[in-house]
Amino acid sequence: MSDENEEFPVYKSKDVPFSWRSPKDINTDAVLHTDGRTRFQQGELGDCWLVAAIESLRHQVNQESFNEVVQAHGNDLEFRWVGSYEGLEGGFWTDAIQSFTGGVVERIKLREGNIPENLFEIMLNSYRSGSFLCCIKKDPHRTEKYHSCCIDALEINEDNSEICVRDPYSQEYNFWTYEQFINEYHRLDMCHKNLDNLSALWGKNIGSCPWESQNFSLQLESLCDEFSIILTDTDDDQEGCTFVVELVQKIKPDEGEELEYIRPWDALVHLELEVGEEIFPVKFPQETRCFTLEPGTHDIRVTTNTEQHSKIYMRIFSKRMYEVERK
């Protein structure tokens, strides 16, 4: 079992309350959303990743998640986040939405030949069951950067699929067929509160019981942290044991650190995840992998090439009995 009590960091609104510079700056008639649509728009600041994450909270299925993040107090709104406005220049939608919800992140590249054949079905079912979806493309306003847009709705009308994408910069709603969508955007990012929605788990009969998780704050002073996972219970009607490993790099400053600008790409460090005989490079703040191994004891190793890094967490999920021990 986990030998640590530290919880995976999901930021609460009371942790970092937003403070206004002066009461006279408050517009008592302002509203964040009406008729299910926000009035929150990206300006010249490159914070599309955050605006898209807020928009993702607003679609109908996830009203509960929105209420957990934004709390209304009369005419005042309290919103959970850290840093300054300038510190929001450039970032990852996945980092924002995971900080809001604690969900598990998945990325699917749309310009490669390994796109799941049933991707639209995966997107549709994930969206309907509470997952958050975002699509990424080259930023038309800042060509050297990428632009995040939230997926606001997915519908199937007879044999036609329709994907509604909201651009946080123009506030336009663009409607695409599935074929148009995969040609317009280069990556699909998803954040799942229900791990059954992970595309790598589709088709696996792993049962209907709840997911059990263990969280570890990695100790990488010697550039490596090693664990043993003991698998004792197989999936339904299968010989293997399925589990999920996610590595999360915290790219926000710790409490007490005085940083005005938080550049996520500067904070990322090179990591490798080794499970059994498989090795995977970690290139993003979150990296998720699904494994099905035979019952028994298997090694999990996380390595890096630098001692200078922020906190790095590992989360392990399974529906079956398992134990994890640090070596």
Residue 193, token pair as written in the block:
């509160």
Nearest-Å Rg of the Cα atoms of the chain is 20
Q: How far is the C-alpha of 52 from the C-alpha of 169, rounded, in Å?
A: 9
The structure tokens listed for 105 are 């992140």
Show the domains of the chain with their CATH numbers.
1-203 (3.90.70.10), 205-326 (2.60.120.380)
Alpha-carbon gap, residue 282 to 83, rounded angstroms: 25
Cα(21)–Cα(31) distance, integer angstroms: 19
- Residue 101 phi, psi dihedral angles, 5° rounding: -115, -20
Judging by DSSP bridges, how do beta strands 271-275 and 241-249 pair with one another?
unpaired
Predicted confidence (pLDDT) per residue in 18-53, tens digit: 333 334 455 566 555 555 555 556 666 667 777 777
Is there a contact between 315 and 215 (Cβ–Cβ < 8 Å)?
A: yes
| Overall average pLDDT of the 93-114 stretch | 86
pTM of the full structure = 0.82
pLDDT single digits (tens) 245-291 = 999 987 655 555 555 445 666 678 889 999 988 999 998 889 999 99
Q: Is the pLDDT of residue 183 over 70?
A: yes
Cross-strand partners of 323: 230
Helix, coil or strand: residue 243: strand
Q: Read off the pLDDT of residues 221-244 as tens digits, 9 standing for 90 and up.
A: 899 999 999 998 888 767 789 999
Is pLDDT at 14 greater than 50 in this prediction?
Answer: no
